[in-house]
Amino acid sequence: MDKRRLGKSNLEVSAIGLGCMGLSYGYGPATDRQDAISLIRSAQERGVTFFDTAEAYGPGVNEEVVGEALASVRDQVVIATKFGFKNGVPADGLDSRPERIRQVADEALKRLRTDRIDLFYQHRVDPNVPIEEVAGAVKDLIAAGKVLHFGLSEAGPDAIRRAHAVQPVTALQSEYSMWWREPETEVLPLLDELGIGFVPFAPLGKGFLTGKVDQNTTFADSDFRSAVPRFSPEAIKANQALVVLVTEIAAAKGATPAQIALAWLLAQQPWIVPIPGTTKLHRLEENLGGADIQLSAADLDRIERMLASIQVTGDRYPTSHQQFVNR
């Protein structure tokens, strides 16, 4: 698979990474541990060198799975993890105090079976801790050799600038896809200006852009989409026009809707690296095929015109999840 460099840094990764969250957290019951390890190893064997996890996915469980899966190929891969929640539990609120950051780093190193974290993200901006203190704490970890690169997740322009002034930010990870384009307004231009890479999570719209979700789809209580307004039956029905668009483009290209959604992201900037997640080998292979789809300028213009005519319905988070909204 082709490689991409995250911004102006020296961090080079596969054009498509693997978001590992769904193997342990968020989308229903956790995948059997050995099956999850097998999937991660299959991704690495197929050219993926960029793996994303977090303390909050489990908590800790996902890091353990990723660590075990990649231990034998550790020097061939880039592992990203995150800090920022009390006790590693999102429902407990935010905690990015420097002493907590140091604790999370040490615990993550053990779970990941490694001596360094390649990319250490603040999972969400903590309004109770100045971003300069957060950046300073990670800067100290970099100086100690425990962390190689600093990242932010769902941060707004002000937080990005302030953090970057203390410790250069290598990558921002935020939601971005055909059905959530908010980063294009202010964030992407800023990243281009500062030389920061962009790692879109939920690049397939949390599964919606695959075309496998319709108004009759039901989600288990343990699947966070069950509480997301954008996944209500009414919103799903209203947003089907987007699926129709992606499906039409896919048919013309001999591809799948998921592959078109990923190819569109890759075409936006050479420093964008999406991290789709899956629990199934055939979906992994399908997603990786998105890196082989070439969209011409005419294709992109057509997609842009069609996207402009579609009004996406529904909030991406319920009101109870405001800590997940960028600051």
Active-site residue identified among 25, 27, 57, 121: 57
Identify the pLDDT of residue 168: 98
Give the mean model confidence (pLDDT) for residues 304-316.
88
Q: Which residues of 74-100 are buried (b: 16+ CB within 10 A; e: fewer)?
A: eeebbbbbbbbbbebebeeebbbbeeb
Identify the pLDDT of residue 138: 98
Identify the pLDDT of residue 218: 81
CA distances 226 to 175, 305, 313, Å, are 18, 31, 16
Summarised one tens digit per residue, pLDDT across range 231-244 is 888 888 888 989 99
* N- to C-terminal Cα separation, the chain: 34
153 has pLDDT over 80:
yes
Give the mean model confidence (pLDDT) for residues 103-112.
98
Identify the pLDDT of residue 321: 66
Identify the pLDDT of residue 314: 83
Summarised one tens digit per residue, pLDDT across range 268-292 is 999 999 999 999 999 999 999 999 9
pLDDT band at 22 (very low <50, low <70, confident <90, very high): very high
């990670």: which residue's tokens? 138
Identify the pLDDT of residue 265: 98
Give the mean model confidence (pLDDT) for residues 165-175.
98
pLDDT band at 317 (very low <50, low <70, confident <90, very high): confident
Domains of the chain with CATH codes? 3-207+267-293 (3.20.20.100)
The DSSP code for 145 is T
322 has pLDDT over 80:
no
Q: Parallel, antiparallel, or unpaired for β 169-175 and 147-153? A: parallel
Quick check: bond before 29 cis, omega within 30?
no
157 has pLDDT over 70:
yes
Give the mean model confidence (pLDDT) for residues 87-113.
97
Residue 308 or residue 100, greater confidence: 100
CA atoms within 13 Å, Cβ hemisphere of 122:
36
Is 57 among the residues known to form the active site?
Answer: yes
163 has pLDDT over 90:
yes
Asked if 122 and 159 touch (Cβ cutoff 8 Å), the reply is: no
Identify the pLDDT of residue 32: 97
324 has pLDDT over 80:
no
Identify the pLDDT of residue 320: 66
Identify the pLDDT of residue 222: 77
User: DSSP secondary structure string, 57-103?
Assistant: TTTTHHHHHHHHHHGGGGGG-EEEEEE-BGGG-GGG-B---HHHHHH
Least confident among 162-176, 213-227, 290-304: 213-227
Summarised one tens digit per residue, pLDDT across range 36-76 is 999 999 999 999 999 999 999 999 999 999 999 999 999 99
Cα 199–Cα 201–Cα 202 angle in degrees, nearest 5 = 150
CA distances 141 to 78, 164, 308, Å, are 17, 16, 44
